[in-house]
Amino acid sequence: MKVPDHRCYFVDTSYLTELYAVPGFSDPAAVTAIRARFTTAWSRGDRLFVPLGCLLELGNHITNVHNAPQRKKWAGVLVEQVRQAMDDRAKQRPFTLVDAPPMSAVLDLVRQWSEKHVAAPRGLVDSATAIEAARFKRDRAMGASVHIWTRDRLLKGVEPDPEPEPFV
């Protein structure tokens, strides 16, 4: 089986909290392993996608950090990375933001969640991430493997392509 030349990763909140080492939401061993994964992906030119819901959840976790200087530091880092992600002139973006679905698709998203995901149980943001990764694989992947970077085994179980050596 030929390995695709590039990989696409949809990054869940659980990986973002490790990347940012958000106190109370991260584990030092996982921080090291996940940061190494990001570094490898960036150096290979893999495509990283952060769904808007995951970005919002990360912001919520940062808000819950009790240490005000740490909270301000991580909020500033997040602002800078989102700025870089949106900069059309940037040589390399840290990730691509995946916009919320258009209002016309929200009902379908919620219906898919209620019919296929709620029994798992999988939350709405996780469901939206899984649905978007599957849609990307179907419509835009052009032979690339598509994975979901998450520490959530239920979400990992529905990624479009099984990731070799996942870190869950």
pLDDT in tens, 119-146: 888 889 999 999 999 999 999 888 899 9
Tokens of 160: 């479009």
Residue 101 binned pLDDT confidence (cut-offs 50, 70, 90): confident
Strands of the sheet with 145-149, listed across from one edge? 96-98, 47-51, 7-11, 145-149
Classify residue 154 by burial, with Cβ atoms within 10 Å: 0-12, 13-18, 19+: middle
User: What's 134's domain CATH number?
Assistant: 3.40.50.1010
Instruction: Report if residue 60 sits inside a domain.
Output: yes
Instruction: Report if residue 61 sits inside a domain.
Output: yes
Instruction: Report if residue 161 sits inside a domain.
Output: no
pLDDT digits (tens, 9 = 90+) for 44-90: 999 999 999 999 999 999 999 999 999 999 999 999 999 999 998 87
Residue among 148, 54, 97, 153 nearest 161 (CA): 148
pLDDT given at position 102: 80
Q: pTM, whole model, 2 decimals?
A: 0.89
Instruction: Report if residue 165 sits inside a domain.
Output: no
Q: How many domains does the chain have?
A: 1
Judge contact between 50 and 97, C-beta under 8 A.
Answer: yes
3-class SS of residue 46: coil
pLDDT given at position 99: 83
pLDDT given at position 65: 93
Query: Quick check: 113 pLDDT over 60?
Result: yes
> Which carries the bigger pLDDT value, residue 160 or residue 88?
160
Percent with pLDDT over 70 in the chain = 97
Structural domain harbouring 139: 7-156
CA–CA gap between residue 96 and residue 118 (Å, rounded): 27
The per-residue b/e assignment along 74-91, b for 16 or more CB within 10 angstroms, e otherwise, is beeebeebbeebeeeeee
Instruction: Report if residue 47 sits inside a domain.
Output: yes
Instruction: Report if residue 167 sits inside a domain.
Output: no
Instruction: Report if residue 162 sits inside a domain.
Output: no
Query: Quick check: 92 pLDDT over 80?
Result: no
Instruction: Report if residue 1 sits inside a domain.
Output: no
